[in-house]
Structures are given as structure tokens and as C-alpha cells.
Amino acid sequence: MTQFRIGIDVGGTFTDLVAIDRTGTTVFAKSPSTPDDQSLGVLTGLEELARRLGLDLREMLSRTERIVHGTTVATNALLERKGAKVALLTTEGHRDVLEMREGLKDDRYDLRSAPPEPLVPRSLRIGVRERLRADGSVAVPLDEASLAEAVARVRASGATSVAVCYLHAYRNPAHEIATVERLARDLPDLYVTRSSDVLPQIKEYERVSTTVVNAYVGPAVQRYLTNLERRLREAGLSGSLFIILSHGGMAPVEEAGRLAAATVLSGPAGGVAGARRCAAMLGLPDLIPFDVGGTSTDISLIVDGQAALSGARGLAGERIALRSLDIASVAAGGGSLASFEDERFQVGPRSAGAVPGPACYGQGGTQAAVTDANLLLGYLDAEAFLGGRKRLDRAAAEAAADGLAPRLGLSREETALGIHRLINLKMADGIRLMTLRRGVDPRRFALLSFGGAAGLHAVEVARELEIPRVIVPTVASVLSAWGMLASDLRYEVSRTHVGESAAVDDDGLRAIFSDLEARATARLREWFDGPLRVERSAEMRYGEQVFEVDVPLDDLAWDAPALVARVHEQFHARHEALFTYASRDQEVVFVNARVAVVGAVAAPPVQAASASPSPASPGAQRRAYFDGWRDAPVYGIESLEPGMTITGPAIFEAETTTVIAGEGDVVTVDRHGWLDVRLRRERAADR
């Protein structure tokens, strides 16, 4: 009997669902998201998916071996400030670490804004008498009376969640564990989380902030996931339910509830997983995933087939120092609004949002948005938007552009073109930051275009950056949900060593890693009995530096002699590769040991398409702007067959996406039916 895997991606507007069976047959469904209780939209979507499979919901679920889910519950709780009431128990004398933010303030020239409210107000940041030294020894024992008083204050405050974070607890968790036990005994209904569990690493601001975020989003994530799992079980699911975490791996519901702060990028992580899967299918190891939505563009990086991870990032101004996929978000999308104020022409960051939307949506918007410009330039078809389900109002878009054009001293078309160019530049800036600031040259990458609006801009953005190639998969509009099905299980542990005064020897190093590996393996085995893979890395720096470099240690012979020296050499080499130099005469400091155990899941099969190199014929012609007004051919993506080649200018349309290829760009339909755009060679000073 057919078995399914189902990927579910809950976005701001739509919940995307993908089912793949064992033959690789792929079925999509979309349902409106239900922000108040995301599980409703998920259930509706599953019903739609079952309908498209010709099954009822129970039948489909009973034949589903795995559901993989990307959720935005934590993301929204943080962005909308709707998380739990949190109390923080911390070392006496240090209760303001969270609000001090190491003295940093983002916008240096904005001296007339009040500081942001911390997630935990000062009155709920409660000092407990205890203190550890930097080597983990006890300077002040945990004072029971002080703890009892703190617990009483938590009880009186009505907090529903507690974060416990003591100084140097990454070296010795005993005081935190005793505190958690006391809380569990006295206040059993509360969500309790401790820093030595969430992020056992040195640097108190990162640790306390991450632990507090975990406490803040934990109850909501736990509640939602528990409910969802119960509903799915009741509806007949017998297979497993996994949640995508910010690092792109997946974990069961219980683990996602424990480490809820690790789900804040659960949504976009699916897109990155999809991109990684594309890289594997295409045999293209270096890709820049480029996801354009209505208000923002998400950019990440696939290098050598792997997604880049980052150790420290934030969301909504809160620091979350868990490893997560390195995803940059730029405020540029189809809804970005053009303006000319104080002699300055700008597109974005203000967006028309879903309401009223761009002027051409005919919902009352009067200011020109990027989508309006794309309509006026002929890139979008007013009649065929969203597969014809939404008709765009050309007159409204014209009126919006006309509101701007005279003030710019330009024609309507020049204005539209200017909007299009400027938003492309902003998107290109985002890619520059993602690549150049990491020392990566974008010109050796291909751009992977997905999300509804990416195809309208991808080729021009690539041209701007001299990226030679753009790939548009057929699953572009539901890539996240599709990508989740190719995610692996992943469990990470880390430990701070700080080997400066106490230099570690070969055996000491082996012991640290084998201990971490044993712990991580034991944990993952609880969820998974397939093959496991271990990834080791260490964060190191030169003596006087403050930021570490994460050095992969997978290729080392662990049992051979001179292990420490070889680990140092890996660091020097990595430093040189990243920053152009190494200082081999300098002391190397070993800060964090990291182990990730990965349960590799077999990728879903791909349905092969048969090649039929018949010439492509456009379904229509449309007047559109390609270095001047042209009658450009319009192709239906679904009608194209592998092996076909089309030279631009050309417009490609599918139900939920449009792709623009410029003059001289060569578009090939690959064996998966995806568009593979090779950009024309640019002559210098061509403009």
C-alpha cells in the first residue's frame, strides 16, 4: 500500500502542504493560515491534500509514515510579544545582564527613542545568593533561604515560566539543577528551563538571553505542538511527527518543546532544506537560495551542498545564540512601497502588506508598490495573476505611478523601471552581505529562485551581482514544505572548555568529544533507529581575539598521535582561508567543543521526466520592457518539456509564479522540468 511523507509549512498567509509517495509522485495543497491556532489551518490543509490524493483524511494519515512540520508559533510569539510571563532566577548582583546588552545600541544616531522593553522586567529578574568561579568551583554555595525567597517571589508574581541562569553554569550546572528541582517541587505547573541545558557555553549575555527566549516561547510551542500531535493522532496518524528546528535538522515534538527557542527559524529553515535538496538533485553544490515574498526577501547560502550555520543571531531584538541556519532577511518584496520624500527616492522598507496590498490589488492601495511596477512593465499579466484567481487593476497601478512620476521628472514607465531597478539593487545588497561579508564571491554561485515573487527579479539581481546562472524549480512556490521532507534528524551538544590556563592534551580532547558524542547518540537513539553520522567541530581563536572561528574536525584521524597539534593546524588553515592570514606563532585558545549527531533520512525519490526536445512554442505574446518595449513571448511553465531551450527576452508563467529572462539569456528546461537560466555575457560599461 502507498505510504506518504507529508511536509507542512505554515507561512504568514498560506499553509503549504506537500505529500510524496514512494514512487516520488508529489502532490501540493495550500490552505489559508490560521494565526490564532495554526493547527486548524494545518488540519484544513491536510483535508485538501487528502482530497487531491483521492483519499479521506483518516485514510491518508493512517498511511503516512512521517509528517515534518515547520512552525512559526515561536517566531510569532517573539515578534508579536505574546509569549509567557517569565521570571528569571540569576546570580545575585548580576540581574541586569539581559537589559545591559553589553552596552550596545543598534542605531547610533537615533538618540530620541526609548530603550526596548526586556522580555523579563527587572522586578522579575531575581537574584539568588550563589556564585561559581571561572573554573567551576564554588565561591558562594547555593543559599537555600535565598532560593526559597526567590521561589516565593515567583509564585506571588504569577509567572508561568521560569528561566534559570547562573554565572559560569556552563562549567558546573549543580546550582542550576538544584534550583530547577526546587522549582519543580514547589511550582510543578510552571515551564522551567536552565541555561546549562539550553546553551552550556561561556558569555553570559548570549546564554541568559537565549534561556529567557526559551522560557518566553516554550509554553506556547509546547502547548501548540502537543495539541497538534493529539489532533493528528485522533485523526488517524500513526507515523511520527517531527518539527524542523532553526538549524535545519528535525526533532520530535517533545524535544522541540524543551528547546523551543530553537524553533524561531523553523519556517524559513524548510526553504533552506529544500535548497539543499535542489543542490543535490542538480549536482550544483554552490547555491544562493533567494526567497522573495510580499514584504521580505530571505537569503541564505549553500556551499559544497551544505547550508551555512551561524552561532549567534537574533530575532525581534532578542539574542538567540543557538546554532541556526544563516538566513538574512531584507525588507524588500512585492509589496514594498515607492516614495519620494525630502528629495529622496526610495523603495521600501515600508510595505503595503496584505491589506491594502499593492495598488493593483484594487483593495484601496494608492501608493506604487513593486508589484504595480512589475505590472506596468508587462512582467505580470493582469488577467493571469495567481492562475487567474485574482485580477490585477492596471488603471490603479497607473494612477499610483502617476502620483510619483511628475515629482521625479520622469515618465510613468521610467518610474516603474526605476522602482524595479531599485528593489533589485536592495535584494542584491542583501546577497552581497550574505556572500561578500563572509568572504564568499557570489559569482561562482547559482541563484536558486523560489517563493512567489522571486522569478520576477532573480535574473536581474543575478546580473547585478555577475552571477551567471539562475535556477527556478517547479516546486518554487512550495519549496519549504517540499524541502522539509528531505531534512535529517539532528541533535547538537556543546561544551565550553576555555583551554588557556589549563591547556588540553590529546587524551583530554578525545575524552571531551567522546563524552559529548555518547550523550548525543543516546538521545537521538530514543527517536530514531536508522544510520547515524557524527559531526565534530571546535570553536577556537587566537589568544587576544574575542570571536571564535568554528573549525570542522570531521576529517581528523582521532586516534593518531599529536591530535591537539593537528586540531591547531586545522584552525590556522581555516583562519587563513577566511581572513587571508594565519599567525602560527600565536597561542590558540580552544573555547567550545561541539558535536552534532545526525540521523540520515533517505531522500524522497524523484520522478524522472522524459526528455522530448521538441521546439518550445509560446502560448502568447506580451508587450513588456526589456531595454526598451518589446513584444515578448510568454510560455506556460507546465507546457514546457525537458530539453527545450529558449532565448530571452521571454516570460514564463505558472499558477503562482512568473519568471522573467532578459535579452540574450538562455533558458533550458532541465530533466526535472525546472528552468535553468544562463545569463548573457555582459560587455563592460554596457549601460
Partner 1 sequence: MPRPVDPITRSVVEHRLSSIVTEMGEAMLRTSYSQILNSSRDFSIGITDTQGRLVAQADHIPVHVGALPWATRAVEDRFRDVVPGDVFLMNDPYHGGSHLPDLTAFVPVFDGDERLFWTVVRAHQSDIGGSTYGAYNPDARDIWTEGLRVPPIRLTEAGRLREDLIDLLALNTRNGHDFRGDLAAMVGAATLGERRMTKLFAEFGGPVVLQAVEGLFDAAEQRARAIVATWADGVYEGEAFLDDDGHGREDIRIHARVTKRGSDVEVDLSASDPQSTSFVNSSHANMQSACAMAFAYLLDADVPKNAGAFRPLTVKAREGTIVWAEPGRPVTMCTSHPSDEIVEAIVKALSGACPARAMAGWGRRFRIALQGEDPRTGRGFIWHMFHARPGGGASSGGDGWSTAGEWHTVGGLKFGSVEFAEVRFPLHFRRHEFLPDSGGEGQFRGGLGAALDLVVETATPAVANTAGDGIRYGACGMQGGRDAAPHAYRLLSEGREPRRLKTKETGIPVRPGDVFEIRSGGGGGWGPPEARDPVARERDLAEELVSGKGDR
d(CA 368, CA 357): 10
CB of 560 to partner 1, least distance (A): 30
Q: Which CB atom, from 95 or from 572, has the smaller least distance to partner 1?
A: 95
User: Could you tell me the smallest distance in angstroms from the CB atom of residue 498 to partner 1?
Assistant: 5
Closer Cβ to partner 1, 527 or 542, answer by number: 542
Spatial distance between the Cα atoms of 37 and 202, rounded to a whole number of angstroms: 37
Greatest CA separation found in the chain?
83
Check if the beta carbon of residue 94 is closer than 8 Å to that of residue 167. Answer: yes
Strands (E), 71-124: 86-91
CA dist., res. 10 & res. 71, Å (int): 6
Tally: H helices and E strands in the chain: 18, 36
283/628 with CB nearer partner 1: 628
Cβ 274 to partner 1 shortest distance, Å = 28
Q: Is residue 97 a contact partner of residue 90, using CB atoms and an 8 Å limit? A: yes
Shortest distance in whole angstroms from residue 95 CB to partner 1? 6
Nearer CB in complex with partner 1: 439/619: 439
How far apart are CB 618 and partner 1 at their closest, in Å? 31
| Least distance to partner 1, CB of residue 545, Å | 7
Shortest Å, Cβ 591 to partner 1:
10
Which candidate, 439, 438, 445, 442, places its Cα nearest to that of 465?
442
The nearer residue to partner 1, 271 or 499, going by C-beta atoms, is 499
Rounded to the nearest 10°, the torsion over CA 370, 371, 373, 376 is 180
Checking DSSP bridges between strand 297-299 and strand 588-599, what pairing results, if any? unpaired
Closer Cβ to partner 1, 97 or 679, answer by number: 97
CB of 496 vs partner 1, minimal distance in Å? 9
Q: What are phi and psi of 163, to 5 degrees?
A: -105, 135
Query: Does the CA dihedral 560-564-569-575 come out positive or negative?
Result: positive
Q: Which is nearer to partner 1, 240 or 339 (CB)?
A: 339
**Can you say how many angstroms the Cα of residue 565 is from the centroid of all Cα atoms in its chain?**
36
Least separation, in Å, of the C-beta of 415 and partner 1? 8
Instruction: Give the closest residue to 166 by CA, choosing from 131, 116, 138, 133.
Output: 131
How far is the C-alpha of 290 from the C-alpha of 281, rounded, in Å?
Answer: 17
SS3 call for 111 = coil
Q: What is the dihedral of CA 438, 441, 446, 449, to 10 degrees?
A: 50
